[in-house]
Amino acid sequence: MNEPLSARRVKQLFGRKSQVTKHTLPTIYDALAEDPALKLAKPPKSSVDWKRYGQQYDIENGSPGILLGALHVYYAGIALWLAAERIAQQNDQPYWQEVVSGRFFQKNGIQNLVAPDWMQEALMAIDTAHFPQFDVPGMPGDVLKHLYQDLIPKKIRHAVGAYYTPDWLADHLLAQVDYDGQQTLLDPACGSGTFLVAAVQMATTRSIKSDDILSRLYGIDNDPLAILAAKVNLLLNLPPINSPITLPIYEADALFNDLGLTQVDLVVGNPPWINWQHLSAAYRTQTRDLWDEYGLFAHQGMDQILGKGKKDFATLFTCVVADRYLKDGGQLAFLLSRSTLKSGGASAGFRHYLIEGPLKVNHVDDVSQITSYGGTRLDTIALFATKTSEQKVRPTISYSLWRPQRQRLRLEDEPLKRVLTLTTRHILQAEPIAADDPRSPWLSAPQAGIAAIRKLTGTSAYEAHAGVYTGGANAAYWLDILEDRGQTLLVKNIRERSKRAIKMVTAEIERDLVYPLLRGRDVQRWYAQPSAHILMVQDPQRRRGYDETWLQQVYPRVYDYLLTFKPTLLKRGAYKRYFRDDAPFYTMFDVAAYSFAPYKVVWQGIGARSMQAAVCSPSQGKPVMTNQAMHPFVGLEDEDEAHYLAACLNSLPFEYALLTHSQAGSQSFAQAGILKRLRIPAYHRDNSLHRELTTFSQDAHNGDIGDDLAEISAALWGITAAELEAMRQNISIWQK
């Protein structure tokens, strides 16, 4: 007996390493290449090695556009063949011609299942005699998503925000909104139809007929390939069809075309996860008014360049579809990035919308520690909300943090019941960390501990900053010193992990503008020691590069060194957006007087999972520079004050409050904005508690780390012994 159909089985038989693919893909490629009238779009910008990708199928020097087109045609061919096999097991060539044209499906009562016109000639080149035989049972789930993830290069999928949802997570969202097959339901970014398939399966178990199921389901997507996959998956999972049907999946942009649909009871799905910067210029222009209409695009200028403008397209999508498609009293269940609730400025407008807008958030499931999309782990939350026209009272929101019961647990293909068995769900409460600012990040903590966190919330007496930002050209500014020649230095640029193709240069330059630099590995708790150097050519007063004429006259060797990289430096996106060629080509970012403070309290930012702060004193007679978001810092003139601040940052109460409202392990963790949300009082030398904290830090930096920092620091914020013990017990919720 043939093995039943499943997503894993389809990937095994038709994936990129299968014999079927190796036989079929070159044939499709040749068919596309030989069509002079066919104009295929270029793949999204990425670092995919298309030459190597084609060689595995004996396609030498293949065109990236045709290669990607061939993959799409092949995927569509597998989808159509599976749908046809579900109806009638036959694979002779006349049958395949009928399938490609759509006539086969029309004869069998399916009115709108056909490949896009541009694909049909290439599809006809496929010889289905090479396809294996297996049973196509009813309700196999979304059988195509693993195949898509396997065939399409990961970097291409990420460029278009295509993340396919695990079946268990789709089942969970539908269960949470009490879907029973009787409500009208829309997935406005349906992809291959995972949520719609889950809805069909749930409705079928309640003995609802195909016609009735389809009359209440709708799917929208702007990708013709996804539309085809969703239709096929829907067909494979429907109960027996007794009359002609139209599969309710529509090709459209849900932001601009409502298709005349009546507002529905439920909007469910996984909207596209794409940053504003990765949208095409035309689409940014097309959607700009919508971003403004929903209050999502508030940052301008340098704030935008340094990260606060990295808006998530999914937030706009959520606002528009809730407004356009969801009826009053209807429920929304969406998968979003955890950063929409926890990051600093980028999602501030969206959080304001959730608190003050027409959606009343009922519950959040934080599944960031257990979700994986085709092997890619993403910080995911499930947001459940009800649309209401009534005046909202700001509630404390129910929030569950899901954690695996053991490490390296792969749950992607497990059923929901098994996932629930293998995870622990911590019941928390969520609310904006700034009680008077609905735009602020949300804290989530055990309800009994929120009062203690509130003792730390507020604005610190200290202002933190991001480190030096080169605009993505570290390899031009970061230096290794090869030889000290007195007034000059022999240096070599550091190209390690460079995202740009910057050549290696060894040069002799004046030493005055070379400063010690902290790299990622150089900062730990109670320890910071620079391992590299950086060329600082930014005027801290004018906030742009030093005048070119002045630099050329006073530091000609430095200027000549920088000229080597001029074409690359002029192409930096941040430089072009903010300065538009009216500043020296070597201009840097986020450099001001504070960058040259003699003492810095620095801490690990991007990727860190705990607070790791240290005091950094001058090195080689110069202040030490820090590395953009990797090492936020506070610049200070007084060393004792710096040690006081480091002790506060490394304390249990501060770290606990930080973890409850941020994303440990993420790119946004512990960034400079934390001191705008968590309060550290100003240092006073005559305060005995402040001196005690200073002494603790000084000893810790010398290797004598005491065990009473939590108790000392608790007194600073008025944390009681019971509250401190609760923090000790609960901090493990956020720690691995």
Domain final residue, candidates 546, 563, 588: 588
Separation of alpha carbons 6 and 420, rounded Å: 22
pLDDT tens per residue, range 559-590: 999 999 999 999 988 888 887 667 999 999 99
The reply to whether 312 and 369 lie within a common domain is: yes
**Predicted pLDDT at 305:** 42
Cα angle, residue 438 at apex, residues 437 and 442 outer, rounded to 5°: 100
- Phi first, then psi, for residue 689 (nearest 5°) are -65, -40
| Overall average pLDDT of the 203-231 stretch | 94
| Overall average pLDDT of the 640-663 stretch | 96
The reply to whether 383 and 513 lie within a common domain is: no
The reply to whether 184 and 310 lie within a common domain is: yes
pLDDT above 70 covers a percentage of the chain that reads: 94
Q: Of 297-306, 339-348, 727-736, where does mean pLDDT reach its minimum?
A: 297-306
Inside any domain, residue 670: yes
**Predicted pLDDT at 304:** 47
Give yes or no for residue 392 having a pLDDT over 80: no
Inside any domain, residue 211: no
The reply to whether 624 and 646 lie within a common domain is: yes
Region of 119 on the Ramachandran plot (φ > 0 left; ψ -120 to 50 alpha; else beta): alpha
311 and 297 in contact (C-beta within 8 Å)?
A: yes
Identify which of 349, 345, 359 has the alpha carbon closest to the alpha carbon of residue 316.
349
**Predicted pLDDT at 685:** 96
Regarding beta strands 326-337 and 264-269, do their DSSP bridges make them parallel or antiparallel, or are they unpaired? parallel
| Overall average pLDDT of the 411-419 stretch | 90
* Distance separating the N- and C-terminal Cα atoms of the chain: 45
Identify which of 366, 378, 376, 370 has the alpha carbon closest to the alpha carbon of residue 410.
370
The reply to whether 167 and 316 lie within a common domain is: yes
Separation of alpha carbons 32 and 37, rounded Å: 10
| HSE-CB of 499 using CA atoms within 13 angstroms | 8
Inside any domain, residue 223: no
Confidence bin at 204 (pLDDT 50/70/90): very high
Domain final residue, candidates 389, 410, 445: 445
| HSE-CB of 296 using CA atoms within 13 angstroms | 26
Give yes or no for residue 308 having a pLDDT over 50: no
pTM of the full structure: 0.89
Identify which of 325, 379, 312 has the alpha carbon closest to the alpha carbon of residue 351.
312
Task: State both tokens at 575.
Answer: 């430089």
Can you give the residue range of the structural domain that contains 493?
470-588
Separation of alpha carbons 214 and 234, rounded Å: 9
Between the ranges 158-172, 300-314, 553-567, 568-582, where is the mean pLDDT highest?
Answer: 553-567
Confidence bin at 301 (pLDDT 50/70/90): very low
The reply to whether 393 and 482 lie within a common domain is: no
| Overall average pLDDT of the 586-604 stretch | 95
The reply to whether 60 and 72 lie within a common domain is: yes
Give yes or no for residue 423 having a pLDDT over 70: yes
Confidence bin at 2 (pLDDT 50/70/90): low
Inside any domain, residue 228: no
**Predicted pLDDT at 273:** 86
Rounded to 5, what percent of the chain is helix, strand, coil?
A: 40, 20, 40
Identify which of 66, 60, 72 has the alpha carbon closest to the alpha carbon of residue 42.
66
Give yes or no for residue 711 having a pLDDT over 90: yes
The reply to whether 171 and 154 lie within a common domain is: no
**Predicted pLDDT at 581:** 66
Confidence bin at 85 (pLDDT 50/70/90): confident
Inside any domain, residue 426: yes
DSSP 193: T
Chain mean position to CA 513: 37
Separation of alpha carbons 100 and 115, rounded Å: 6
Give yes or no for residue 640 having a pLDDT over 80: yes
Give yes or no for residue 328 having a pLDDT over 60: yes
The reply to whether 89 and 151 lie within a common domain is: yes
Confidence bin at 131 (pLDDT 50/70/90): confident
Q: Which residues contact 202 (CB under 8 A, 6 or more apart)?
A: 171, 174, 179, 180, 181
**Predicted pLDDT at 736:** 62
The reply to whether 170 and 317 lie within a common domain is: yes
Give yes or no for residue 464 having a pLDDT over 60: yes
Per-chain mean pLDDT for the chain = 90
| Overall average pLDDT of the 414-431 stretch | 94
Which of the pair, 492 or 375, is modelled with greater confidence? 492
Separation of alpha carbons 612 and 373, rounded Å: 30
Inside any domain, residue 218: no
CA dihedral sign of residues 369, 375, 381, 384: negative
Inside any domain, residue 454: no
Q: What is the 3-state secondary structure (H, E, C) of 513-532?
A: CEEEECCHHHEECCEECCCE
Q: Which residues contact 522 (CB under 8 A, 6 or more apart)?
A: 528, 529, 530, 531
Q: Which residues contact 155 (CB under 8 A, 6 or more apart)?
A: 46, 47, 48
CATH for 180: 3.40.50
**Predicted pLDDT at 517:** 97
Task: State both tokens at 602.
Answer: 């620095």
Give yes or no for residue 67 having a pLDDT over 60: yes
Concatenating the DSSP letter of every residue in 369-404 gives: TT-EETTEE--EEEEEEEE--SPPP-PPEEEEEEEE
pLDDT tens per residue, range 503-554: 899 999 999 999 999 998 899 999 999 999 999 999 999 989 999 999 999 9
**Predicted pLDDT at 417:** 95
The reply to whether 547 and 657 lie within a common domain is: no
Inside any domain, residue 457: no
191 and 230 in contact (C-beta within 8 Å)?
A: yes
| Overall average pLDDT of the 308-334 stretch | 91
Q: Which residues contact 257 (CB under 8 A, 6 or more apart)?
A: none
Separation of alpha carbons 293 and 347, rounded Å: 15
Helix ranges (DSSP H) in 609-687 = 639-649, 652-660, 674-677
The reply to whether 28 and 112 lie within a common domain is: yes
| Overall average pLDDT of the 683-700 stretch | 97
Cα angle, residue 426 at apex, residues 176 and 719 outer, rounded to 5°: 135
Domain final residue, candidates 160, 175, 202: 160
Give yes or no for residue 134 having a pLDDT over 80: no
468 and 627 in contact (C-beta within 8 Å)?
A: yes
Domain count, the chain: 4
pLDDT tens per residue, range 226-249: 999 999 999 999 988 878 999 999
Identify which of 687, 708, 686 has the alpha carbon closest to the alpha carbon of residue 697.
708
- Please report, as a single letter, which amino acid is at residue 622: K
Separation of alpha carbons 549 and 393, rounded Å: 61
